[in-house]
């Protein structure tokens, strides 16, 4: 017989969505049990956002070392010490993990380490340290996260790897084929190219970073081409053969590539199998948990957050959903999260950052004659010139209405997306933003200049 404990909320999964639910709920005075089979922090902290961005920072420093002579700083890149890079990466993850553990403990969240399963609409059963515990929740929050997908018939193993194994490599490959030109694939392609590898990306859709505005996609492809990153788009993967020293990758158009590794980066799937969700009557679709706008499932008292909910699979989305659900359960009636206002960033070189509707999506929603756009080139921005980056800010606006999309490409533009989110979420008009003062010289000025131009008073751009 399992030991039984009762809580206001039982959270299944300690990733961004799950731990945010737990911390906010505890802050609001609710009793919380947080169930996690591995480490609190989930994919983002341990196998995703944080370690990949640490690698990207190391890659940026490698590029800076190569390019220093262009600004009179004569540096050379002697070698990539991947062991030391991995130590640096692990140090970043370790410090953040220690801090998160402290937060969970200080909020008096009961952390239950073990594999949890939904065994009733109000109960999770956990095998923890040889004991079976039954955690009863007045509310249940499902946040079991995601896993690296593969394609049917494509077996992971050996020199065919996913991002999980890519993060643990203790050697720098000389050549890589990346299957998938989305965020994950392009970020690893960027890292490996900066580390000196020959990289080829294969993407079945017509463009790299295919969820972005088409103008951004094309500029991104030009930038990758200039960096020497090869890619084939609009073509399907046909197969791969492994041998002792590498892989032979075949495409359906007859092309073939030889490389040290094949990285499979075709997206992430919802980690919901064998967790009891369907047995308890929870509505599912292709493994995803279906919810309403308030993140309630079809079963009363059961909520879902993060990557298992259809939509953008982003850590900050899960984090925001966790806060929302905690406040919803506490009776605060928070405003629903609008998916279109969630910022998106690809942290490659160059970076891509966007929020809101692409031009194509806006025209589909409002009509061709109801949408106007403007592009402000970073060539007119002083800080971008100092950094030596190319790119632009693109604004998508409803005619005589608010801006519904902001799309950016260039070095460090991910740091600009906060203001872009406020603009789109608060339905700002061009004149609203044009009247604001942006510090000089910053890349943030590019946002201000774009809005000056859209408001009909361009300063460093042609009318």
Cβ distance 424 to 356 under 8 Å? yes
Cβ distance 306 to 318 under 8 Å? yes
Rg (CA), the chain: 23
Cβ distance 284 to 290 under 8 Å? yes
- Alpha-carbon span 175 to 361, nearest angstrom: 37
- Alpha-carbon span 8 to 32, nearest angstrom: 6
Please state the three-class secondary structure of 154-222 as a single string.
CCCECCEECHHHHCCCCCCCCEEEEECCCHHHHHHHHHHHHCCCEEEEEECCCCCCCCCCHHHHHHHHH
Instruction: Give me the DSSP letters along 105-151.
Output: HHTT-EEEESEEEEEETTEEEEEETTEEEEEEEEEEEE---EEE---
- Alpha-carbon span 384 to 380, nearest angstrom: 8
Considering the candidates 243, 440, 460, 462, report the single residue annotated as catalytic: 440
HSE-up of residue 174 (Cα within 13 Å, Cβ side):
6
440 as an active site residue: the answer is yes
Run of H or E residues at 406: strand 403-410
For 296, which DSSP code?
B
For 445, which DSSP code?
H
- Alpha-carbon span 262 to 260, nearest angstrom: 7
3-state helix, strand, coil in the chain (%, to 5): 35, 25, 35
What are the residue numbers of the active site?
440
């Amino acid at each position: 017989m399992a030991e039984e404990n009762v809580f206001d909320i039982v959270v299944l999964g300690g990733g961004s969505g799950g731990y945010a639910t737990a911390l906010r709920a505890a802050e609001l005075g609710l009793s919380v049990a947080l169930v996690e089979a591995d480490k609190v922090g989930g994919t983002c902290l341990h196998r995703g956002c944080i370690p990949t961005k640490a690698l990207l920072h190391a890659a940026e420093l490698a590029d800076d070392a190569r390019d220093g002579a262009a600004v009179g700083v004569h540096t050379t890149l002697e070698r990539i010490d991947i062991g030391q890079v991995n130590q640096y990466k692990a140090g970043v993850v370790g410090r953040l993990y220690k801090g998160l553990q402290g937060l969970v403990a200080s909020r008096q969240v009961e952390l239950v380490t073990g594999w949890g399963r939904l065994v009733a609409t109000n109960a999770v059963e956990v095998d923890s340290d040889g004991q079976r515990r039954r955690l009863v929740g007045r509310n249940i929050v499902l946040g079991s996260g995601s896993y690296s997908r593969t394609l049917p018939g494509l077996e992971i193993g050996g020199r065919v790897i996913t991002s999980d194994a890519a993060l643990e490599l203790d050697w720098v490959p000389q050549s890589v084929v990346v299957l998938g030109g989305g965020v994950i694939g392009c970020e690893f392609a960027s890292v490996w190219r900066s580390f000196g590898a020959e990289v080829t990306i294969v993407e079945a859709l017509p463009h790299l970073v295919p969820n972005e505005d088409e103008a951004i996609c094309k500029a991104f492809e030009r930038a990758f081409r200039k960096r020497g990153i090869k890619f084939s788009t609009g073509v399907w993967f046909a197969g791969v053969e492994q041998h002792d020293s590498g892989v032979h990758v075949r495409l359906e158009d007859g092309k073939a590539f030889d490389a040290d590794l094949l990285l499979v980066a075709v997206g992430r799937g919802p980690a919901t199998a064998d967790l009891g969700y369907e047995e308890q009557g929870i509505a599912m679709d292709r493994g995803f948990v279906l919810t309403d706008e308030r993140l309630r499932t079809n079963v009363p008292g059961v909520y879902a957050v993060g990557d298992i909910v259809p939509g953008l699979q982003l850590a900050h989305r899960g984090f925001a959903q966790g806060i929302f659900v905690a406040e919803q359960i506490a009776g605060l009636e928070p405003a629903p999260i609008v998916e279109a206002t969630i910022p998106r960033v690809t942290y490659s070189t160059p970076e891509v950052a966007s929020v809101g509707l692409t031009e194509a999506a806006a025209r589909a929603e409002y009509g061709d004659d109801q949408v106007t756009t403007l592009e402000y080139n970073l060539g007119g921005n002083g800080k971008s010139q100092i950094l030596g980056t190319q790119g632009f800010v693109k604004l998508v606006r409803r005619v005589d209405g608010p801006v519904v999309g902001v799309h950016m490409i260039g070095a460090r533009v991910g740091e600009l997306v906060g203001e872009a989110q406020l603009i789109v979420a608060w339905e700002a008009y061009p004149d609203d933003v044009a009247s604001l003062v942006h510090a000089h010289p910053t890349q943030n000025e590019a946002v201000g200049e774009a809005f000056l131009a859209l408001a009909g008073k361009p300063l460093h751009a042609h009318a």
